[in-house]
Amino acid sequence: MVEGTLVKSKGSPALGYGFLFGLIQGVIQIVVGLLITNLHQPALTLPLSMLGVLFAFFFYFLAGVKATQSTGRVGTGAFAGLWTAVISALLSLIAAYSLATVNINTMRQIGRAVVEDAARRLNQPMPSTADQFLLGALTISGLGGFALSMILGLLIGALGGLIGRARTSRYSRIYDTALSVTPGAPKHS
């Protein structure tokens, strides 16, 4: 890597980009959660959830690209993706618990609709749903989703870091070539 081609900034680019894109992703996840909760359409739950997942992948990748372009190191991109996942997952968990406790009746109806649908498909009797069961399921799925988000954030951030490093190297070569053929241009060491 050629010195002087990267913009130096204060602080950790991984944390900075992770925090920025994590906040954006967290807000998107909260909006998706509100839509799922308030639309009362079980058929829209999966498409909206998949949209949230695609946004998450995009922001993990983007954080990795941008952070790596700041430092030239793929590890920075991986950690930016990880921080994006951590921040967005924390915001999502806080919002999910808030929504669940405030809207327990709506959660009960959605949970009952999902369980009824599963019982009908499996030709099984309908089990009862209790508030503790719903909050317990939210806790287990939330913690599992948190762990999965961190792993995917790290991996997708690293992939973004690889792309970001390749792009940074390419632009550095173009810049150096332009400097070397421009008469009177200062020589770069």
What is the spatial distance between Cα 63 and Cα 59, in angstroms, rounded to a whole number? Answer: 6
- The answer to the question of residue 7 being in a domain is no
- The answer to the question of residue 80 being in a domain is yes
- The answer to the question of residue 82 being in a domain is yes
Nearest of 148, 153, 188, 150 to residue 172 by alpha carbon? 188
- The answer to the question of residue 4 being in a domain is no
- The answer to the question of residue 123 being in a domain is yes
Tens digit of each residue's pLDDT (9 = 90 or more) over 34-82: 888 778 787 888 888 899 999 999 999 999 999 999 888 999 999 999 9
What is the spatial distance between Cα 114 and Cα 154, in angstroms, rounded to a whole number? Answer: 32
Taking a C-beta distance cutoff of 8 angstroms, is the pair 14, 80 a contact? yes
- The answer to the question of residue 176 being in a domain is yes
Beta strands in 25-123 (DSSP E): none
128's torsion region: left (phi>0), alpha (psi -120 to 50) or beta?
A: beta
Q: What is the pLDDT along the chain (189 residues), one digit of tens a residue?
A: 444 444 455 678 999 999 999 999 999 999 998 888 778 787 888 888 899 999 999 999 999 999 999 888 999 999 999 999 999 999 988 988 887 777 777 777 777 777 777 778 887 776 665 656 666 777 788 788 889 999 999 999 999 999 988 877 666 666 556 555 555 556 555
- The answer to the question of residue 147 being in a domain is yes
Q: pTM for the complete prediction?
A: 0.69
Phi, psi at 26, each rounded to 5°: -60, -40
